[in-house]
Amino acid sequence: NAGVTQTPKFQVLKTGQSMTLQCAQDMNHEYMSWYRQDPGMGLRLIHYSVGAGITDQGEVPNGYNVSRSTTEDFPLRLLSAAPSQTSVYFCASNRHTANTGELFFGEGSRLTVL
Amino acid sequence: SQKIEQNSEALNIQEGKTATLTCNYTNYSPAYLQWYRQDPGRGPVFLLLIRENEKEKRKERLKVTFDTTLKQSLFHITASQPADSATYLCALASSGGYQKVTFGTGTKLQVIP
């Protein structure tokens, strides 16, 4: 099993550009989520999904969009990138819809916005 | 406001000693608490989960305690090894919403040979 796969691993954007961070899991997990990690701030929840067609906001959703058309994929879209979105982004999944139990994380996507 | 605090200063210990990391929280009613390990440039990896009605959990050289009165969890690594050097994250899921797991900032552990 590949687990949780994130692409790209590294990306540099200019302010105002758009892009999509991809996340795929092959464990048939219902729950998926996106976090960003910044120095001194810890991991902060951006958006999460408890199944295909269902998404909800986390702690820091502004500037990000998500959709969940399949169980496997949960892309994160930045419509107009800002320097404040420079961060490391992690996708995570959990086999329980209620998210009880361990989170499986991807290896991260490092985004720099100039 | 809700807050999870971990010692932001690095913890340096000698190989073979027991490392103890602290996680304090305020304004939470946690249903469970988790500990994760994160190596540089990698995603967090799950270590242990302890529920609100449990006092202690063990897994090999790891031990977690959970005191909901003190609002604190302690994470112990016994017989520490240089390979245990990493950042350790504490995470809480509130009884009001398991879907929103909140993480502390982590404590960096350095085990010196």
B20-68 pLDDT, tens digit per residue, is 999 999 888 888 899 999 999 999 999 999 988 899 999 999 999 999 8
Does A96 have pLDDT greater than 90?
no
CB-nearest to A42 from B45, B100, B105 is B105
- List own/partner pairs for B2-5 with CB under 8 A and 24 or more apart: B2/B26, B2/B27, B2/B28, B2/B94, B2/B102, B3/B27, B4/A42, B4/B28, B4/B90, B4/B91, B4/B92, B4/B102, B4/B103, B4/B104, B4/B105, B5/B104
Q: Which residues of B touch A31 (CB under 8 A)?
A: 99
Predicted local distance difference test score (pLDDT) of residue B36: 97
Contact B100 A4 (CB under 8 A): no
Asked if A100 has any chain B CB less than 8 Å from its own CB, the reply is yes
Asked if A73 has any chain B CB less than 8 Å from its own CB, the reply is no
